[in-house]
Chain A
């Protein structure tokens, strides 16, 4: 056994988990600030300098709130629901390559928790477990509005996963690998997949919005119709977990999008940098810049567009996105065949 490797990976896991959590925490703050900017308001600015401690105040508040489990709720499932959502949201980040590798104490540390051969499949698999958190929570609440939210969420996520998967297949066909690391390596410099798969990227982006339950696909929570939907009965940190997992999902799906389509940590002119440590750090910075760009677009869309109606959402998923994804796949295949 290579204990050093285990230690290295453990440290990496802790670091990435901590970074993800802190980023998710600050995404809530960012969302509020960005919303305020769009809406000509100030946003939170009272806790700490520029309101920067607001997320901690929010988190603390949620932790100390009284925890209410409705008498009619299915107690264990009621607890499992948010736990599932949170766990699933955090473990997706395991296969994301944040950078190439970095030299620490003479060891070459890879900036990826697990370079599994089936990285893309892993992401798809974990993401589809995510719906269980919502489904279980909504059902266990024993509230009709929660159940509506849960049903909407599960139908929506299952249908949009299909086109997401089909959009990804085209990329997999092109790169010939399922490993995210290899996929990113192939997009060296400015050789990004988005140039070859613009339609696939668009489809994936729309599906990512739907998978994260973000506007205009936020029918599962839909505060005006379903009063919060699946988390209507939740209080305290359980509610916090649900809200939190949404932001983590947003962060992680932005990371996946950046890795698969926007070249991950690659950036033009990266070969000119000789110092490997500087290069690695720059790569991580570029990766995060791409992620935050996507997160910003997510928020931009949420505060601009109205949401779909349930049947319109399903129609868009099944009648537009899936056929488009299949066409995209077939065209990719045909072009590859002709180029051989």
Chain B
């Protein structure tokens, strides 16, 4: 006979011998709970997962290779399609990387504008993740509440750049145009209403007994293992490691803002959920601070090599015409060099490793995609847990197929 033991959360943790039949179960690639196209081949004994093997590459679009044939400003739309829940962070991260390579200094105002946009994107990203954890536990209602808020954030993006999901927001050197009065009005209204609605969602789930029983102890990871896998972002912080790119390696004047980096303890689904909940609140506070301290000035740096001149100028002055032509044709001058730049993405350290040989396109571009790293740890995290926990672990790590496969 086999021995079944339970840990303090009541999960089945080990069984000395395995008798009976072990079944192979395909979790994905089209399983609704994977929220994207990726596959897990599970070896299951009843509901317990004995072994898991993950498959990547179902929507691999060769972004890194594509980038080698594209001028720098045309790579921004590619980055949209990485973590499509928070495209603006990807866009701005890429702009910052190119600015670092080209040595461009941007005005303080651009930094603050970027912070506002990036924090909005982080809120949207975390809202998707946390409300989907709710959906996967069977609580669909909170999801609809939070998607209304996410919709408002998308309207804000639309106001800035005209697009909603794949934003292609901003330019190398700043923004295409200053924030409009409509944007400011909508943003203020959003900030006023959001916390109230968010509290409603919080009340619905965070201290719900059934929800807590479901997520506490589901898919835990120790800080040592998380660091060994090079986790970053909310998932690492949930495991109890105090690391946030915004604090450790500030960019975009993040050092000007006062915010708390929430840290978890057990690295389980509940900690990941709670860390994200708190980060949403902190993001709101950062946006409020940025709005209050918004410096005056220009919404872009003076970099004619990268920043498109206004169309009226193109028709009137020769320099503008030349720069316009060069930017559109992708013939901008860029120094030789090798840079790594990382931003705190929606779900971790989103890094860009860029090698330039001085040509019109990158020689090599590598995206450090946090989802890819999380997904490597997935089999280890769900081993010996049950099917329901495996699905919660997946959604709480916020593995996004677009970023996973790039």
Contact = CB atoms under 8 A, between A and B. Distances in A.
Interface of A: 35, 38-41, 144, 148, 215-216, 218, 222-225, 227, 303-312, 315
B204 A224 contact: no
A305 B212 CA distance: 12
A290 to B, nearest CB: 26
A114 B282 CA distance: 64
Contacts of A216: 138, 210
B33 A224 contact: yes
Given A215-B138, A218-B138, A305-B208, 20 more contacts: A35-B140, A39-B140, A39-B141, A41-B144, A144-B23, A216-B210, A222-B138, A224-B32, A224-B135, A224-B391, A225-B136, A306-B138, A306-B205, A306-B210, A307-B137, A307-B210, A308-B214, A309-B389, A311-B386, A312-B214
Contact of B139 (A223, A227, A304, A311): A304
Majority DSSP secondary structure for residues of B touching A:
helix
Contacts of A40: 144-145, 148
25 contacts: A35-B140, A39-B144, A40-B145, A40-B148, A222-B138, A223-B32, A224-B32, A224-B136, A224-B391, A225-B387, A225-B388, A227-B31, A305-B138, A306-B205, A306-B214, A307-B137, A307-B138, A308-B210, A308-B213, A309-B214, A310-B386, A310-B388, A311-B10, A311-B12, A312-B214
B141 A38 contact: yes
Contacts of B33: 224-225
Contacts of A311: 10-12, 386
B115 to A, nearest CB: 31
B25 A312 contact: no
A11 B406 CA distance: 66
B406 to A, nearest CB: 26
A306 B389 contact: no
Interface of B: 10-12, 23, 25, 31-33, 47, 134-141, 144-145, 148, 204-205, 208, 210-211, 213-214, 386-389, 391
A218 B140 CA distance: 13
Nearest to A215: B138
Contacts, number: 74
A305 B205 CA distance: 8
A304 B391 contact: no
A227 B389 CA distance: 15
Nearest to B205: A306
B212 to A, nearest CB: 10
Contact of A227 (B32, B141, B148): B32
B137 A306 contact: yes
Contacts of A218: 138
Contacts of A148: 47, 387
A13 B237 CA distance: 63
A224 B141 CA distance: 14
A311 B325 CA distance: 66
Contacts of B136: 224-225
Contacts of A38: 141
Nearest to B387: A225
